Structure 1
């Protein structure tokens, strides 16, 4: 999958004008790329559209318009675009109550490494987590992780032929499975693979 470049982005002015339409398009698109695992975890399967939206929103929020700053954002977010052999995911651990969140983030250390995808007929593929920087320390895990699920050529071929896809997490303190994914999500994820 191609990486985003400066030419893929709108100026701050142009983005401000088009933002309501872009936001509506991205939110509709994300519906077929979002999986809720249990009551407290959401996986968003990223792609060029979701990441370009993130970059545009960061540029807008930070009022970044200089080339160097724009390139810094592109450099930070481009690694989150799948490259044809994998899925890249933002994992969010969500506990609205602050005290419960604090307790659970202590108990859920390592959860990012125990999150998986499974193509029908194959073993689970566990995430390669947080390649950019460590998001866990001695006391707790982070509420946000960035995951990569690297697939074999055989798995990719199976997905392209219509094989079911499942996702889950096997942590001692949090176990959830969603298999098979709905057809619209499965189709959207299949488009990420070369």
Structure 2
């Protein structure tokens, strides 16, 4: 899988080529995803996306759906490409994880607006709050969704600090889920690579 900085039809593998590549490299992609997952408390996980994770998702959808025509390929790219960071931000899939159905229903009702209270704090800088669900609203008056898509947009000074090795924490200041965690060095190094 060649990373090109932009996912286009010409930069994707054919279904046959991807099937061969997938057998040899699936474990690498899983390890990359794991490295870029940050758990916040017991019930929230942010899976920070990258060109690799998004490109893999597009290729997987093409494989599963056996899509090989231009129109279908363009639709998959349109659906997933916006999830890839573009140099000044981090983008993540936010998962609210409650295995028990009744607890999940109750907590999703208590956590309305939680996606807007997520933040990244770069040492020495103001908090950056998530811009959530830009494609569509994922909550209603009764509950929030178990899945959100969030973007953290950084200033040039914050980008420079992250790349210089500043400590960074991920947090939430929702009244029903106050939590924060330092982002580990290996994860932070991977995330810093998304910035330019």
Q: Which residue of 1 aligns with 2:188?
A: 186
Give the number of equivalent residue pairs: 193
Runs of 4+ in 1 over 3 A off after TM superposition: none
Q: Deviation digits for residues 130-155 of structure 1, max 9, x if unmatched?
A: 00111111211111110010000110
Q: Deviation digits for residues 80-99 of structure 1, max 9, x if unmatched?
A: 11111110111001111111
Q: Which residue of 2 aligns with 1:90?
A: 93
Q: Which segment is superposed worse, 119-128 or 19-28?
A: 19-28
Gaps of 5+ in 1: none
Q: Deviation digits for residues 54-96 of structure 1, max 9, x if unmatched?
A: 1111112222221101101101111111111110111001111
Q: Which residue of 1 aligns with 2:128?
A: 125
Q: Counterparts of 1:46 and 1:73 in 2: how far apart (Å)?
A: 16
Q: Which residue of 2 aligns with 1:42?
A: 45
Q: Deviation digits for residues 88-137 of structure 1, max 9, x if unmatched?
A: 11100111111111111111110000001010001211000000111111
Q: Which residue of 2 aligns with 1:80?
A: 83
Q: How does 1:10-159 map to 2 (within 5 A)?
A: 10-159=13-162
Could you tell me the TM-score, scaled by structure 2's length? 0.94
Q: Counterparts of 1:128 and 1:22 in 2: how far apart (Å)?
A: 32
Q: Secondary structure at the match of 1:122?
A: coil
Q: Secondary structure at the match of 1:116?
A: strand
Q: How does 1:169-180 map to 2 (within 5 A)?
A: 169-179=172-182
The Cα RMSD (Å) is 1.3
Q: Secondary structure at the match of 1:20?
A: helix
Q: Counterparts of 1:45 and 1:132 in 2: how far apart (Å)?
A: 17
Gaps of 5+ in 2: none
Q: Deviation digits for residues 158-177 of structure 1, max 9, x if unmatched?
A: 11111111101111111221
Q: Counterparts of 1:23 and 1:93 in 2: how far apart (Å)?
A: 25
